[in-house]
């Protein structure tokens, strides 16, 4: 008996149906969106055959949508970057699937190797760049779906938006 608590559970707690939640068809929490990104990353058959590399601009492909969210696949050849930008009212999960990326914010620089995952809230401003010598691939989950990506000046992480709203079917970057 644990002397720190008078609570004891008898039997199998998983047999108490009112304590169990039915599995959700779609993610609804930050942890579930991060889990969605990890599960897609782990199953290369869902995305590897779609990846293309373009030397003139970053390649992107909307991989999946659900109620209130979008999943994008992006590729980055060496030297390609997103520019300093925000994500409007969207939160997001960035997961590096292959290669390495560098994230720059007003707080500093962070190396993101394959498997790295970044979760960010609305209002987060960053730049993502492939500073490596090899191509990189990343997965981006936005919730709600990305409708704008305001670009920011190179010297200020908090300056006015200069980009119009991005319609859901248009190009979406980091």
Q: Is 26 marked as a binding-site residue? A: no
Q: How many beta carbons lie within 10 A of that of residue 48, not counting itself?
A: 12
d(CA 88, CA 97): 24
Beta-ladder partners of 132: none
Phi, psi of 90 (to 5 degrees): -90, 145
Q: Half-sphere exposure (CA, 13 Å, Cβ side) for 48?
A: 6
Q: Is 155 marked as a binding-site residue? A: no
Strand 127-129 and strand 117-120: pairing? unpaired
Strand 100-105 and strand 108-113: pairing? antiparallel
Q: Is 18 marked as a binding-site residue? A: no
d(CA 89, CA 73): 20
Q: Give the residue numbers of the binding site for Fe cation.
A: 85, 87, 126
Q: Give the residue numbers of the binding site.
A: 85, 87, 126
């Amino acid at each position: 008996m644990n002397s720190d608590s008078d609570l004891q559970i008898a039997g199998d707690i998983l047999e108490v149906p009112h304590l169990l939640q039915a599995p959700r068809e779609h993610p609804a929490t930050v942890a579930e969106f991060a889990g969605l990104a990890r599960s897609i990353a782990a199953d290369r058959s869902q995305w590897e055959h779609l990846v293309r590399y373009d030397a003139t601009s970053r390649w992107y492909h909307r991989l999946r949508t659900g109620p209130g969210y979008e999943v994008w696949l992006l590729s980055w050849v060496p030297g390609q970057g997103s520019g300093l930008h925000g994500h409007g009212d969207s939160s997001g999960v960035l997961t590096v699937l292959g290669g390495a990326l560098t994230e720059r914010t007003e707080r500093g620089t962070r190396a993101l190797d394959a498997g790295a995952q970044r979760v960010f809230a609305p209002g987060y401003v960053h730049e993502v760049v492939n500073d490596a010598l090899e191509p990189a691939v990343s997965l981006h989950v936005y919730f709600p779906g990305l409708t704008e990506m305001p670009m920011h000046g190179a010297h200020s992480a908090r300056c006015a938006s200069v980009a119009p709203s991005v319609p859901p079917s248009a190009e979406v970057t980091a």
